[in-house]
Amino acid sequence: MITIGMDPGKKGALVALRDGEPIEWLAADDRDGGYVIGKEYAPTVIRAWLQQVIEIAAAVDDRIAKVVIEKQQARPIEGRSSVLTTGYGFGLLVGVTAGLGLPFEIVTVSKWQRAIFGAGKAKDTKGRAIVYVSGLVPDLALTWGRRTKPHDGLADACCLALWGAR
């Protein structure tokens, strides 16, 4: 069973897990082919990545059980263009996923974080996600290339996939 987690945004990521093990991932801001090129989203890159995961699943007689997409919402402090960009990226992931006929679920940040990290108001949820994923899914490289700081969007996407597999 393959579960995909999607953390929308220009610093987000997509992660596909098969039975808790990473099979593919794509960071939005990866200079070697992420789904954000310059300052613009690249829908064709997202679609190609999802198609690749579909083909991997078919090759091993598996299927994509669910795509979990983190719900995005406007925050009072954000400007209008930031809100538009956030909504555009979220809608793009939902649209491409639905267009490929993949089953998906949209989940709020608080819902998946409460399930993964436990009850209570969490501080530094990005750091917690990095620690959690590093321990539970050590084969997912949160740093690569010249990157020295772990990619928190990749960690969040992995947590979303793990939440979806529950």
The first and second tokens of residue 97, run together, are: 């996923």
Q: What is the mean pLDDT of residues 148-160?
A: 95
What's the number of domains the chain is made of? Answer: 1
Cα dihedral 90, 159, 35, 95 in deg (nearest 10): -30
Domain of residue 104 covers: 2-165
The answer, yes or no, to whether residue 127 has pLDDT greater than 70, is yes
Is pLDDT at 46 greater than 70 in this prediction? yes
Q: Are 126 and 155 in contact (CB under 8 A)?
A: yes
Determine how many CB atoms are found less than 10 A away from the CB of residue 104: 18
Q: Which residues contact 108 (CB under 8 A, 6 or more apart)?
A: 70, 71
Calpha distance 143→4 (Å, rounded): 20
Q: Report yes or no: 130 and 149 within 8 Å, Cβ to Cβ.
A: no
Whichever domain contains 59, its CATH number is 3.30.420.10
In the predicted structure, residue 77 carries a pLDDT above the cut 90: no
Region for residue 101 given its phi and psi (left: phi exceeds 0; alpha: psi -120 to 50; beta: otherwise): left
Both tokens assigned to 14:
């997509």
Q: Which two tokens stand for residue 53?
A: 């995961």
Q: What is the mean pLDDT of the chain?
A: 90
Phi, psi of 131 (to 5 degrees): -65, -45
Categorize the per-residue pLDDT at 122 as very low, low, confident or very high, splitting at 50, 70 and 90.
Answer: low
d(CA 18, CA 93): 20
Lowest-pLDDT choice from 40-44, 81-85, 142-146: 81-85
Q: Give the pLDDT score at 30.
A: 83
Strands 13-18 and 2-7 turn out to be: antiparallel
